[in-house]
Amino acid sequence: MKGKKLSVKKRYKVLVLLLAIPVLLQASVAVAPTVKITSFWDNNTVPAYVDMGNFAWAEAAVNDLSKYGIINGYVVDGKNYFKANTLMDRAEFAKIVVSAFGAYDANSENSMLDNPSYWWAYKYIGSAVESGIAKGYSNEWFGAQDDILRQDVAVMLVKAIDNAGIVLPIKNSGVTFADADKISDYAKDAVNRLASAGIVQGDKNGFFYPQNNAERAEIAVMVDRIISN
């Protein structure tokens, strides 16, 4: 059974739609912002982030880490953004911690299914795992794109500190957070050590929020406090 032929009018409509598709695609591309991650490692310059106005408390730390390529910002339509209150995932933090504490190994390898060899984070996660700074949820899954918990930031920082042979000073011995009972057993020692050294602090009510996800500005301040100590 043969299909029905389109009328001249309908064929014209189809032709117009087909010709319009490239124009529509071009228009959609034209309005899309240009987004790329930038590193300032090569020239040791500090980017002028346009979105740090409400984060003066973290600006010096962000600038320090950006200057040496430890943490990266984002360029959108020619402007530098840091996105200070954006959550950080485990892959991003692995990159920061191995870069900051000299644990990056260009020859590192790992068999995590969520960290393929062609991915930007492959060597960073491999370095973190092989050095003992981090471990996955299992031998096959790192949780690379999961937002990292504040208590897990503490655990990885302490492991990186020990791995690098850094001795933290004791500034505030006997710190007790109001929500200390919410800190998982595996993280208690790390949180206590960082609190005693003044690296991590609670809010005005003494809460640490160990089960909350960590924001980029918070992490920058913690790391900078250690390497600037």
What is the per-residue pLDDT across 31-70, written as a single tens digit (0 to 9) for each?
333 333 333 344 466 778 999 999 999 999 999 999 999 9
Helix (H, G, I), strand (E, B) or coil at 111: coil
Asked whether residue 1 carries a pLDDT value surpassing 70, the answer given is no
Q: Which residue has better confidence, 111 or 128?
A: 128
Task: Give the pLDDT of residue 77.
Answer: 94
Helix (H, G, I), strand (E, B) or coil at 180: helix
Assigned token pair, 208:
């640490």
Question: CA 110, CA 163: separation in Å to the nearest integer?
Answer: 19
Number of H helices, E strands in the chain: 7, 3
Helix (H, G, I), strand (E, B) or coil at 157: helix
Question: CA 163, CA 183: separation in Å to the nearest integer?
Answer: 23
Average pLDDT value for the chain:
84
Q: Is the pTM of this model over 0.85?
A: no
